[in-house]
């Protein structure tokens, strides 16, 4: 089997995890990563012995990287000549500019949630619309919240049909280590509907969605509460059975000590997961309650790692490595060590 060759451009919060994710896919080859400056992530990579070859996207900055003792294998153009597909995880908006370069090399590329939807042919989610990504040149992943939200809604939608969802997102304001949002102690409300609800409808147009987002001064995960209107009555036991069957959904219990986002982050660290990452969203069993004919529940979104599996699915779809959704997501799950 010829393994597709993959590049990761932008080695920040998401790029580091995408690189590790690709390295774990036994049917893909990570050729290298690209970035522009001696960031802490690159300094850490160097201290780990440069497991991935680094290419510099701004040739003038090669000396800057070398001055920091970080070996550089070549330029971004050198990297792009060697690969079949690019995972662009640069800061939001840069991907749109990079697209021209990817086009020049006739490459396929997968963009992350911070880019505008127009950057891609398809707005993609591995479980909800895998087939739409088949063979497409440019795919864009949903954002972290939308990725997790769609996992849960699609899971129940496939079981009983889903008419409507209304969501409240309690959003971590920054990633661990970020200083650019300041030292905050306030909540901030966005105007409704939040982009995650609109994005859900782009991917699942048959579900009517709306929602409100509240920024909170925490860094370890978002929490979303959902009020969902199923097409058929579904019991709590049936909901739990559906969630329990889903390889990317982890059902947890308050009674077991999973009290909130911080418990899940700590648990991921106790599992020994690199960087305290968790690929799965979590659903709290005790939050699943009926509200008239609707159902309500809360999920945890580990924002730094949640989009990694669906991005691996996007590679599979774009390169038509697997034609069927469940075959593709199953292989991704296996290599990432999910149930
Ligand atoms: P980040 O700032 O942590 O990393 C971006 C990296 O890209 C940095 O290392 C930067 O040096 C590098 N970069 C900038 N310009 C570049 C260029 N021209 N060529 C190569 N590298 C360049 O950002 P992030 O949080 O990893 O976000 C990346 C994308 O993922 C965004 O679209 C974001 O919206 C999306 N996303 C972020 C999260 C999250 O929780 N952080 C979750 C899901 C999706």
Q: Which residues pair with 110 in a beta bridge?
A: 87, 139
Decide if 144 is catalytic.
yes
Q: What is the pLDDT of residues 263-293, one digit of tens each?
A: 999 999 999 999 999 999 999 999 999 999 9
Mutate to test the pocket of ligand 1, among 54, 90, 308 (most ligand atoms within 8 A of CB): 90
Q: How far is the CA of 218 from the centre of ligand 1 (A)?
A: 19
pLDDT band with cut points at 50, 70 and 90 for residue 143: very high
- What is the mean predicted confidence (pLDDT) over 45-61? 98
| Residue carrying structure tokens 């782009």 | 202
Secondary structure element (H or E) that encloses residue 140, with its range:
strand 138-141
Q: DSSP 3-state assignment of 182?
A: coil
188 phi and psi, to 5 degrees? -135, 135
Q: What is the pLDDT of residues 57-112, one digit of tens each?
A: 999 999 999 999 999 999 999 999 999 999 999 999 999 999 999 999 999 999 99
| Residue closest to 109 by CA, chosen among 16, 4, 39 | 4
Q: What is the pLDDT of residues 214-245, one digit of tens each?
A: 999 999 999 999 999 999 999 999 999 999 99
Give the pLDDT confidence score for residue 245 in this predicted structure.
97
| Residue closest to 278 by CA, chosen among 215, 196, 219, 336 | 336
- Report the CATH architecture of 5-142+307-336: 3-Layer(aba) Sandwich (3.40)
Q: Domain limits of the chain?
A: 5-142+307-336, 144-301
Residue nearest to atom 32 of ligand 1 (CA): 114
Residues 199, 12, 110, 102: is their CA dihedral positive or negative? positive
Is any atom of ligand 1 closer than 6 Å to the C-beta of 228?
no
Average pLDDT, the chain: 96
Residues 144-301: name the CATH superfamily. Dihydrodipicolinate Reductase; domain 2 (3.30.360.10)
Binding-site residue set for NAD(+): 35
pLDDT band with cut points at 50, 70 and 90 for residue 339: confident
- What is the mean predicted confidence (pLDDT) over 189-194? 96
């Amino acid at each position: 089997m010829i393994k597709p060759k993959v590049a990761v451009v932008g080695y920040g919060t998401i790029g580091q995890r995408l690189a590790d994710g690709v390295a774990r896919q036994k049917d893909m080859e990570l050729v290298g990563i690209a970035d522009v400056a001696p960031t802490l992530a690159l300094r850490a990579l160097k201290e780990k012995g440069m497991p991935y070859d680094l290419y510099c996207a701004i040739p003038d900055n090669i000396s800057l990287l070398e001055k920091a003792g970080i070996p550089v294998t070549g330029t971004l153009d050198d990297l792009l000549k060697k690969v079949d597909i690019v995972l662009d995880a640069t800061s939001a908006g840069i991907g749109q500019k990079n697209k021209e370069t990817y086009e020049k090399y006739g490459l396929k590329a997968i963009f992350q949630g911070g880019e505008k939807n127009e950057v891609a042919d398809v707005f993609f989610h591995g479980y909800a619309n895998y087939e739409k990504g088949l063979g497409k040149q440019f795919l864009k992943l949903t954002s972290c919240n939308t990725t997790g939200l769609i996992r849960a809604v699609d899971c129940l939608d496939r079981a009983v049909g889903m008419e409507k969802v209304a969501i409240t997102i309690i959003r971590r304001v920054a990633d661990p280590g970020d200083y650019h949002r300041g030292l905050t102690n306030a909540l901030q409300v966005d105007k409704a509907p939040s982009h995650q609800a609109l994005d859900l409808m782009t991917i699942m147009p048959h579900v009517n969605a709306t929602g409100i987002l509240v920024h909170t001064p925490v860094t370890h995960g978002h929490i979303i509460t959902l009020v969902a209107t199923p097409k058929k009555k579904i019991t709590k036991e049936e909901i739990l059975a559906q969630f329990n069957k889903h390889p990317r959904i982890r059902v947890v219990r308050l009674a077991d000590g999973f009290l909130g986002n911080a418990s899940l982050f700590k648990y991921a660290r106790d599992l020994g997961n690199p960087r305290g990452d968790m690929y799965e969203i979590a659903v709290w069993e005790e939050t699943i309650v009926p509200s008239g004919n609707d159902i309500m529940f809360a999920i945890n979104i580990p924002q730094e790692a949640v989009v990694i599996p669906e991005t691996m699915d996007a590679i599979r779809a774009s390169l038509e490595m697997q034609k069927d959704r469940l075959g593709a997501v199953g292989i991704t799950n296996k290599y990432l060590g999910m149930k």
